[in-house]
Structure 1
Amino acid sequence: MKKIYSFLLFLIINFGGLALGSWFMGDAVTGEWYSNLNKAPWTPPGWVFGAAWTLIMLCFSIYLSFLFSIRHSKFVMTIYSIAVLLNVSWNYLFFNQHLTTFAFINIILLTLVIIYLFITFGDDKLRYIKYLLLPYIIWLCIATSLNGYVLFNN
Protein backbone atom coordinates (compact mmCIF):
# COMPACT_ATOMS: atom_id res chain seq x y z
CA MET A 1 0.00 0.00 0.00
CA LYS A 2 2.90 2.33 0.76
CA LYS A 3 4.18 1.93 -2.81
CA ILE A 4 0.78 2.98 -4.19
CA TYR A 5 0.79 6.17 -2.14
CA SER A 6 4.38 6.79 -3.13
CA PHE A 7 3.51 6.19 -6.79
CA LEU A 8 0.60 8.65 -6.59
CA LEU A 9 2.81 11.25 -4.90
CA PHE A 10 5.46 10.91 -7.60
CA LEU A 11 2.80 11.11 -10.32
CA ILE A 12 1.60 14.39 -8.84
CA ILE A 13 5.13 15.80 -8.50
CA ASN A 14 6.29 14.62 -11.94
CA PHE A 15 3.21 15.73 -13.86
CA GLY A 16 3.19 18.93 -11.81
CA GLY A 17 6.76 19.51 -12.98
CA LEU A 18 5.67 18.96 -16.57
CA ALA A 19 2.80 21.41 -16.10
CA LEU A 20 5.15 23.99 -14.61
CA GLY A 21 7.59 23.48 -17.50
CA SER A 22 4.73 23.88 -19.94
CA TRP A 23 3.68 27.08 -18.20
CA PHE A 24 7.26 28.40 -18.53
CA MET A 25 7.15 27.45 -22.21
CA GLY A 26 3.91 29.33 -22.84
CA ASP A 27 2.97 29.50 -26.50
CA ALA A 28 6.61 29.49 -27.64
CA VAL A 29 6.18 26.40 -29.82
CA THR A 30 3.82 28.34 -32.07
CA GLY A 31 5.73 31.60 -31.64
CA GLU A 32 7.93 33.36 -34.13
CA TRP A 33 11.27 32.49 -32.52
CA TYR A 34 10.73 28.72 -32.51
CA SER A 35 8.95 28.69 -35.87
CA ASN A 36 11.93 30.41 -37.52
CA LEU A 37 14.56 28.08 -36.07
CA ASN A 38 16.45 25.68 -38.27
CA LYS A 39 15.27 22.46 -36.58
CA ALA A 40 16.61 18.94 -36.93
CA PRO A 41 15.07 16.89 -39.74
CA TRP A 42 14.23 14.20 -37.15
CA THR A 43 12.15 16.59 -35.02
CA PRO A 44 8.97 14.65 -34.24
CA PRO A 45 5.48 16.15 -34.62
CA GLY A 46 4.16 18.00 -31.60
CA TRP A 47 1.81 15.26 -30.37
CA VAL A 48 4.77 12.88 -29.90
CA PHE A 49 6.16 15.08 -27.13
CA GLY A 50 2.99 14.79 -25.04
CA ALA A 51 2.71 11.04 -25.59
CA ALA A 52 6.39 10.49 -24.82
CA TRP A 53 6.34 12.56 -21.64
CA THR A 54 3.19 10.81 -20.41
CA LEU A 55 4.83 7.40 -20.81
CA ILE A 56 8.11 8.64 -19.33
CA MET A 57 6.51 10.11 -16.22
CA LEU A 58 4.37 7.02 -15.63
CA CYS A 59 7.45 4.79 -15.84
CA PHE A 60 9.55 7.22 -13.79
CA SER A 61 6.90 7.38 -11.06
CA ILE A 62 6.73 3.59 -10.82
CA TYR A 63 10.53 3.41 -10.67
CA LEU A 64 10.68 6.09 -7.97
CA SER A 65 8.03 4.38 -5.83
CA PHE A 66 10.21 1.26 -5.75
CA LEU A 67 13.45 3.19 -5.28
CA PHE A 68 12.12 5.19 -2.35
CA SER A 69 10.62 2.11 -0.71
CA ILE A 70 14.09 0.54 -0.70
CA ARG A 71 16.44 3.52 -0.42
CA HIS A 72 14.69 6.46 1.14
CA SER A 73 17.47 8.87 2.05
CA LYS A 74 18.36 12.55 1.80
CA PHE A 75 20.88 11.68 -0.92
CA VAL A 76 18.28 9.94 -3.11
CA MET A 77 15.84 12.79 -2.50
CA THR A 78 18.53 15.28 -3.52
CA ILE A 79 19.25 13.42 -6.77
CA TYR A 80 15.52 13.28 -7.54
CA SER A 81 15.10 16.99 -6.73
CA ILE A 82 17.97 17.87 -9.07
CA ALA A 83 16.30 15.84 -11.84
CA VAL A 84 12.99 17.65 -11.35
CA LEU A 85 14.69 21.04 -11.26
CA LEU A 86 16.67 20.33 -14.43
CA ASN A 87 13.59 19.00 -16.21
CA VAL A 88 11.46 22.03 -15.37
CA SER A 89 14.19 24.59 -16.02
CA TRP A 90 14.97 23.32 -19.52
CA ASN A 91 11.66 24.69 -20.86
CA TYR A 92 12.36 28.04 -19.26
CA LEU A 93 15.91 28.25 -20.64
CA PHE A 94 15.12 27.04 -24.14
CA PHE A 95 11.64 28.33 -24.96
CA ASN A 96 11.21 31.27 -22.62
CA GLN A 97 14.69 32.78 -22.57
CA HIS A 98 16.02 31.35 -25.89
CA LEU A 99 19.25 30.38 -24.11
CA THR A 100 19.98 27.37 -26.28
CA THR A 101 23.54 26.89 -24.96
CA PHE A 102 22.44 26.82 -21.32
CA ALA A 103 19.48 24.63 -22.24
CA PHE A 104 21.88 22.23 -23.97
CA ILE A 105 24.08 22.04 -20.87
CA ASN A 106 20.95 21.63 -18.76
CA ILE A 107 19.61 18.70 -20.78
CA ILE A 108 23.01 16.99 -20.81
CA LEU A 109 23.11 17.27 -17.01
CA LEU A 110 19.56 15.90 -16.76
CA THR A 111 20.53 12.96 -18.97
CA LEU A 112 23.55 12.26 -16.77
CA VAL A 113 21.41 12.38 -13.61
CA ILE A 114 18.91 9.86 -15.01
CA ILE A 115 21.74 7.60 -16.24
CA TYR A 116 23.26 7.91 -12.75
CA LEU A 117 19.99 6.66 -11.24
CA PHE A 118 19.95 3.78 -13.73
CA ILE A 119 23.51 2.70 -12.94
CA THR A 120 23.77 3.46 -9.23
CA PHE A 121 20.45 2.09 -8.08
CA GLY A 122 20.27 -0.94 -10.34
CA ASP A 123 21.26 -3.54 -7.77
CA ASP A 124 19.48 -6.81 -7.01
CA LYS A 125 16.37 -5.20 -5.53
CA LEU A 126 15.88 -2.88 -8.51
CA ARG A 127 17.51 -5.10 -11.15
CA TYR A 128 14.44 -5.14 -13.42
CA ILE A 129 12.66 -2.01 -12.21
CA LYS A 130 15.57 0.16 -13.36
CA TYR A 131 14.60 -0.57 -16.97
CA LEU A 132 11.61 1.70 -16.48
CA LEU A 133 14.16 4.51 -16.84
CA LEU A 134 15.01 3.51 -20.42
CA PRO A 135 12.18 5.51 -22.05
CA TYR A 136 13.42 8.58 -20.16
CA ILE A 137 17.05 7.99 -21.16
CA ILE A 138 16.17 7.36 -24.80
CA TRP A 139 13.94 10.43 -24.98
CA LEU A 140 16.60 12.60 -23.33
CA CYS A 141 19.13 11.44 -25.93
CA ILE A 142 16.70 12.44 -28.69
CA ALA A 143 15.89 15.75 -27.00
CA THR A 144 19.58 16.47 -26.48
CA SER A 145 20.23 15.89 -30.17
CA LEU A 146 17.34 18.22 -31.08
CA ASN A 147 18.64 20.94 -28.72
CA GLY A 148 22.17 20.45 -30.04
CA TYR A 149 20.99 20.75 -33.62
CA VAL A 150 19.25 24.04 -32.85
CA LEU A 151 22.31 25.28 -30.96
CA PHE A 152 24.80 24.47 -33.71
CA ASN A 153 22.64 25.30 -36.75
CA ASN A 154 21.11 28.65 -35.84
Structure 2
Amino acid sequence: MKKIYLFILFLIINFGGLALGSWSMGDAVTGEWYASLNKAPWTPPGWVFGAAWTTIMLCFSIYLTFLFSIRKSRFVVIVYSIAVLLNISWNYIFFNQQLTHFGLATIIALTLVISYFFISCSDEKLSKLKYLLIPYIIWLCIATSLNGYVVLYN
Protein backbone atom coordinates (compact mmCIF):
# COMPACT_ATOMS: atom_id res chain seq x y z
CA MET A 1 0.00 0.00 0.00
CA LYS A 2 2.93 2.32 0.74
CA LYS A 3 4.12 2.00 -2.87
CA ILE A 4 0.73 3.07 -4.22
CA TYR A 5 0.84 6.23 -2.11
CA LEU A 6 4.41 6.94 -3.19
CA PHE A 7 3.49 6.40 -6.84
CA ILE A 8 0.56 8.81 -6.57
CA LEU A 9 2.77 11.34 -4.78
CA PHE A 10 5.42 11.16 -7.51
CA LEU A 11 2.80 11.42 -10.24
CA ILE A 12 1.49 14.59 -8.60
CA ILE A 13 4.96 16.09 -8.12
CA ASN A 14 6.25 15.15 -11.59
CA PHE A 15 3.17 16.13 -13.58
CA GLY A 16 2.73 19.18 -11.36
CA GLY A 17 6.29 20.13 -12.21
CA LEU A 18 5.52 19.78 -15.91
CA ALA A 19 2.44 21.96 -15.48
CA LEU A 20 4.43 24.62 -13.61
CA GLY A 21 7.14 24.55 -16.27
CA SER A 22 4.57 24.87 -19.02
CA TRP A 23 2.82 27.71 -17.22
CA SER A 24 6.12 29.53 -16.56
CA MET A 25 7.05 29.70 -20.22
CA GLY A 26 3.90 31.66 -21.02
CA ASP A 27 2.99 31.89 -24.68
CA ALA A 28 6.61 31.78 -25.85
CA VAL A 29 6.19 28.62 -27.95
CA THR A 30 3.57 30.35 -30.09
CA GLY A 31 5.26 33.74 -29.87
CA GLU A 32 7.39 35.64 -32.35
CA TRP A 33 10.72 34.97 -30.62
CA TYR A 34 10.48 31.17 -30.80
CA ALA A 35 8.96 31.23 -34.29
CA SER A 36 11.88 33.32 -35.55
CA LEU A 37 14.58 31.04 -34.11
CA ASN A 38 16.72 28.97 -36.39
CA LYS A 39 15.75 25.54 -35.01
CA ALA A 40 17.43 22.18 -35.52
CA PRO A 41 16.17 20.19 -38.52
CA TRP A 42 15.43 17.28 -36.16
CA THR A 43 13.05 19.36 -33.99
CA PRO A 44 10.02 17.12 -33.48
CA PRO A 45 6.46 18.35 -34.08
CA GLY A 46 4.73 19.85 -31.05
CA TRP A 47 2.53 16.84 -30.24
CA VAL A 48 5.63 14.68 -29.66
CA PHE A 49 6.57 16.72 -26.60
CA GLY A 50 3.35 15.92 -24.76
CA ALA A 51 3.53 12.21 -25.60
CA ALA A 52 7.20 12.02 -24.64
CA TRP A 53 6.80 13.82 -21.32
CA THR A 54 3.78 11.72 -20.36
CA THR A 55 5.74 8.51 -20.96
CA ILE A 56 8.84 9.89 -19.23
CA MET A 57 7.01 11.00 -16.11
CA LEU A 58 5.10 7.72 -15.80
CA CYS A 59 8.34 5.75 -16.01
CA PHE A 60 10.15 8.17 -13.69
CA SER A 61 7.34 7.96 -11.12
CA ILE A 62 7.50 4.16 -11.13
CA TYR A 63 11.28 4.26 -10.71
CA LEU A 64 11.07 6.79 -7.88
CA THR A 65 8.42 4.74 -6.10
CA PHE A 66 10.79 1.80 -5.84
CA LEU A 67 13.86 3.97 -5.17
CA PHE A 68 12.20 5.72 -2.25
CA SER A 69 10.74 2.52 -0.82
CA ILE A 70 14.15 0.80 -0.95
CA ARG A 71 16.73 3.53 -0.46
CA LYS A 72 15.15 6.74 0.80
CA SER A 73 17.71 9.07 2.30
CA ARG A 74 18.14 12.80 2.73
CA PHE A 75 20.65 12.79 -0.13
CA VAL A 76 18.22 11.07 -2.53
CA VAL A 77 15.50 13.57 -1.59
CA ILE A 78 17.91 16.45 -2.30
CA VAL A 79 19.01 15.04 -5.66
CA TYR A 80 15.38 14.45 -6.67
CA SER A 81 14.44 17.98 -5.57
CA ILE A 82 17.25 19.38 -7.69
CA ALA A 83 15.97 17.41 -10.68
CA VAL A 84 12.44 18.77 -10.23
CA LEU A 85 13.70 22.34 -9.88
CA LEU A 86 15.93 22.07 -12.95
CA ASN A 87 13.10 20.55 -14.99
CA ILE A 88 10.68 23.33 -14.03
CA SER A 89 13.20 26.14 -14.39
CA TRP A 90 14.43 25.22 -17.87
CA ASN A 91 11.11 26.24 -19.44
CA TYR A 92 11.19 29.60 -17.69
CA ILE A 93 14.86 30.23 -18.47
CA PHE A 94 14.75 29.19 -22.12
CA PHE A 95 11.30 30.28 -23.25
CA ASN A 96 10.18 33.04 -20.89
CA GLN A 97 13.53 34.74 -20.33
CA GLN A 98 15.04 33.69 -23.68
CA LEU A 99 18.37 32.92 -22.01
CA THR A 100 19.40 30.14 -24.36
CA HIS A 101 22.95 29.76 -23.02
CA PHE A 102 21.76 29.51 -19.42
CA GLY A 103 19.01 27.17 -20.61
CA LEU A 104 21.66 24.93 -22.13
CA ALA A 105 23.59 24.84 -18.86
CA THR A 106 20.35 24.03 -17.01
CA ILE A 107 19.40 21.15 -19.28
CA ILE A 108 22.92 19.72 -19.16
CA ALA A 109 22.74 19.84 -15.35
CA LEU A 110 19.35 18.07 -15.44
CA THR A 111 20.77 15.39 -17.74
CA LEU A 112 23.64 14.82 -15.33
CA VAL A 113 21.28 14.55 -12.35
CA ILE A 114 19.02 12.01 -14.06
CA SER A 115 22.08 10.12 -15.31
CA TYR A 116 23.30 10.02 -11.72
CA PHE A 117 20.13 8.15 -10.74
CA PHE A 118 20.83 5.65 -13.53
CA ILE A 119 24.52 5.18 -12.73
CA SER A 120 24.16 5.05 -8.95
CA CYS A 121 21.72 2.11 -9.00
CA SER A 122 23.93 -0.58 -7.60
CA ASP A 123 21.17 -2.00 -5.43
CA GLU A 124 20.11 -5.41 -6.75
CA LYS A 125 16.42 -4.54 -6.41
CA LEU A 126 16.85 -1.39 -8.50
CA SER A 127 19.27 -2.70 -11.11
CA LYS A 128 16.54 -3.57 -13.63
CA LEU A 129 14.21 -0.72 -12.69
CA LYS A 130 16.86 1.84 -13.57
CA TYR A 131 16.08 1.16 -17.24
CA LEU A 132 12.85 3.08 -16.70
CA LEU A 133 15.13 6.14 -16.79
CA ILE A 134 16.28 5.49 -20.37
CA PRO A 135 13.38 7.40 -22.02
CA TYR A 136 14.15 10.40 -19.80
CA ILE A 137 17.87 10.30 -20.57
CA ILE A 138 17.27 9.92 -24.32
CA TRP A 139 14.77 12.77 -24.33
CA LEU A 140 17.15 15.00 -22.37
CA CYS A 141 19.92 14.27 -24.88
CA ILE A 142 17.59 15.24 -27.72
CA ALA A 143 16.45 18.37 -25.87
CA THR A 144 20.05 19.29 -25.10
CA SER A 145 20.95 18.98 -28.78
CA LEU A 146 17.96 21.17 -29.73
CA ASN A 147 18.94 23.80 -27.16
CA GLY A 148 22.58 23.60 -28.27
CA TYR A 149 21.56 24.11 -31.89
CA VAL A 150 19.64 27.25 -30.93
CA VAL A 151 22.68 28.55 -29.04
CA LEU A 152 25.03 27.87 -31.96
CA TYR A 153 22.86 29.08 -34.85
CA ASN A 154 21.03 32.09 -33.47
Report TM bin, short chain.
Answer: over 0.9
Correspondence 1:66 to 2:66: yes
State the partner residue of 1:121. Answer: 121
In structure 2, how many angstroms separate the alpha carbons of the residues matched to 1:134 and 1:15? 18
State the partner residue of 1:137. Answer: 137
In structure 2, how many angstroms separate the alpha carbons of the residues matched to 1:132 and 1:26? 30
Unpaired segments of 5 or more residues in structure 2? none
Deviation at 1:27, TM superposition (A): 1.1
* TM-score in terms of structure 2 length: 0.99
In structure 1, how many angstroms separate the alpha carbons of the residues matched to 2:122 and 2:136? 15
TM alignment of 1:27-46, pairs within 5 A: 27-46=27-46
State the partner residue of 1:81. Answer: 81
State the partner residue of 1:5. Answer: 5
In structure 2, how many angstroms separate the alpha carbons of the residues matched to 1:100 and 1:86? 14
CA contact (8 A) 1:28 1:34 kept: yes
CA contact (8 A) 1:10 1:61 kept: yes
| Counterpart residue identity of residue 42, structure 2 | W
Compute the RMSD of aligned alpha carbons.
0.6
Unpaired segments of 5 or more residues in structure 1? none
In structure 1, how many angstroms separate the alpha carbons of the residues matched to 2:58 and 2:106? 22
Deviation at 1:122, TM superposition (A): 4.0
SS in 2 for 1:39: coil
CA contact (8 A) 1:122 1:130 kept: no
Deviation at 1:125, TM superposition (A): 1.2
SS in 2 for 1:124: coil
Superposed CA offset, 1:76-126 (max 9, x none): 000000000000000000000000000000000000000000010243110
SS in 2 for 1:42: coil
In structure 1, how many angstroms separate the alpha carbons of the residues matched to 2:62 and 2:54? 13
Query: How many residues get paired?
Result: 154
SS in 2 for 1:127: coil
Matched residues, percent identical? 78
In structure 2, how many angstroms separate the alpha carbons of the residues matched to 1:122 and 1:14? 24
Deviation at 1:8, TM superposition (A): 0.3
In structure 2, how many angstroms separate the alpha carbons of the residues matched to 1:84 and 1:2? 22
Give runs of ≥4 in structure 1 deviating > 4 Å.
Answer: none
